[in-house]
Amino acid sequence: MKKEIGIFILLVILCAITGFENPRFFSPINLGNTANLIGLFGIFSIGAGVVIITSGIDLSVGSMIALNGMLSVIALTQWHLAWPLAVLFALAVPMALGLAHGVLITRFKMQPFIVTLCGLLIYRGIARFSSNDMTKGFGDANGFQTLQRWATGTLWGLPTPFIYLIIISIIMWLVLHRSVYGRYLLAVGRNEEAARFSGVNTKLVIGSAYVLAGLLTGISGILFAFYTNDVSPSTQGNFYELYGIAAAVLGGCSLRGGEGSIVGILIGTTLLLVLQNLVNLLNIPSSLNFAVMGGVVLIGVLADELIQNARRKK
């Protein structure tokens, strides 16, 4: 819990500064927009975090979101699938890809970085090829309106993606911090060998983390497709894997594995999106967007490291 408090304080300070400089930060419209984005980014960031906890990494997230968005469009507009089937299809594909990652990493002992880097390249290519590299919209496909309401509507005044994030977070909190499977995830991330000696099916645990990440990325992918309303295969989801990794690391996940919490990942995601918002509201040139984000992640992780060191010396 200690780790999250530091980053939470940073978040509060940033919100206060932004709100003080530009009161529009606290306007209902801005808060609603930010909450919507937190929902969209938070869901796949949790997946990225789970993979990092097993001491792996998933670089394919952004391309998967593009591919998934494109498949959702194609399933609805070209194949005319009923919307529940289209959703199932759009979730099954990333899960299958996650499974493929898991098998390559655990059975064939390939490095997660390489496997998912290849994924990043391959899925982007397929997304562009399957659409002839053209932006595709949903038009007025059958079931589009129902789905759009689910994906972009509001409930109790909150954007639906944010509500999905809350539900998923509660489930994932139970899974990671209270379940046998979650304990195995942490154990495998810390010391795979010792976990195996204790009878943990390490291959299954690690492999399933990529499937789980695929599922969460798939949910995000559908929501993003409706958020942008049409899917541009070459830009949809670009760099999103790095948002996920940055959010997880800011939230206390260690790339060495075995460390991390759902609350931390949520705070990390929120911090990243508040930063984006800050860039817009404080009239910082948007070309500096990534630089600001990189700088804050660097400072956040550095400060955390310094605090940990100081504590250890005491």
Partner 1 sequence: MRGITKRFSGVTALDNVSLTLGRGEVVALCGENGAGKSTLMKILGGVHQPDAGEIVLDGRKTQIPGVADAIKLGIAFIHQELNVLGNLDVAGNVFLGREPRNALGLINSKKIHADAEPFVRRLGLDISTRTRLDRLSIAQQQMVEIAKALSLNARLIIMDEPTSSLTVAETTRLIDLVCDLSKQGVSVIYISHRLGEIEQCADRAVVLRDGKNAGELGSDEATHDKVVSLMVGREIKNYYVHSDAPKTPGFFKVRDAFSSLYSRKTVSFDAARGEILGFAGLVGAGRSEMARAIAGMDHCPSKKITLDGKTIPIASPRDAIQHGIFLVPEDRRVEGLIVEMSVRENVSLPSLRDFSRFGLISRKRESDAARRQVDSLRIKTPTVEARVRNLSGGNQQKVVLGKWLTMNPRVMIFDEPTRGIDVGAKAEIYRLIRDLASQGAVILVISSDMEEVLNVSDRIAVMHEGEITGALDRADCNEENVMQLAVGKKVPAAKPAFKE
Could you give the CA distance from residue 205 to residue 296 in angstroms, rounded to a whole number? 33
Distance CA 77, CA 71 (A): 10
Q: Are 62 and 221 in contact (CB under 8 A)?
A: no
Q: Is 187 in the site for partner 1 (CB under 8 A)?
A: yes
Interface residue with partner 1 among 59, 186, 246, 273 (CB under 8 A) is: 186
Which span (40-48, 89-97, 159-167, 197-205) binds partner 1, by CB under 8 A? Answer: 197-205
The closest alpha carbon to 203, from 106, 94, 308, 291, belongs to 106
Is residue 94 within 8 A of residue 64, CB to CB? The reply is yes
Q: Which residues contact 34 (CB under 8 A, 6 or more apart)?
A: 273, 274, 277
Max Cα separation, the chain?
Answer: 65
Q: Is 196 in the site for partner 1 (CB under 8 A)?
A: yes
Q: According to the binding rule CB under 8 A, does residue 107 interact with partner 1?
A: no
Binders of partner 1 in range 225-284 (CB under 8 A): 258
Cβ proximity to partner 1, 150 vs 183, nearer residue: 183
* Member of 174, 282, 303, 307 binding partner 1 (CB under 8 A): 174
Q: For residues 29 and 180, which CB has a smaller minimum distance to partner 1 in the complex?
A: 180
CB 113: neighbour CB atoms within 10 A?
A: 13
Identify the residue among 156, 180, 283, 287 touching partner 1 (CB under 8 A). Answer: 180
Binding partner 1 by CB under 8 A: which of 40, 200, 265, 266?
A: 200
Contact assessment for residue 91 and residue 105, using Cβ atoms and an 8 Å cutoff: no
Question: What's the closest the beta carbon of residue 79 comes to partner 1, in angstroms?
Answer: 37
Binding interface with partner 1 (CB under 8 A): 174, 178-181, 183-184, 186-187, 190-191, 193-201, 258, 314
